[in-house]
Amino acid sequence: MNDLVIREYAPADRAGVIALARQLQAKEASLYDRMKPPETIDGWYLDFLLDACRKAKGTLFVAEVGE
């Protein structure tokens, strides 16, 4: 792989992580009727994940390839 970096989430990653969550939601919505529409996935979802990580003393990681 080219310049693969795995690191902890930073606030500057917010838009990219939300976009990725929407892509995942779109894929899952094509498979399961119970999924919310991708456009409903927004900042609340990332805030939920970050809060769950804090409560569990976990960490959210992001992967970058190149820039």
Q: Find the radius of gyration of the CA atoms of the chain.
A: 13
Does residue 1 surpass a pLDDT of 60? no
Report yes or no on whether pTM surpasses 0.85: no
pLDDT tens-place string over residues 11-52: 999 999 999 999 988 888 888 888 778 888 889 989 999 999
Question: Domain locations in the chain?
Answer: 4-65
Tell me the average pLDDT across 2-14: 93
Name, in order, each residue with C-beta under 8 angstroms of 40's C-beta and a sequence gap of 6 or more.
Answer: 25
Which pLDDT band, with edges at 50, 70 and 90, does 2 fall under?
confident
Please report the pLDDT score of residue 48 as a whole number: 94
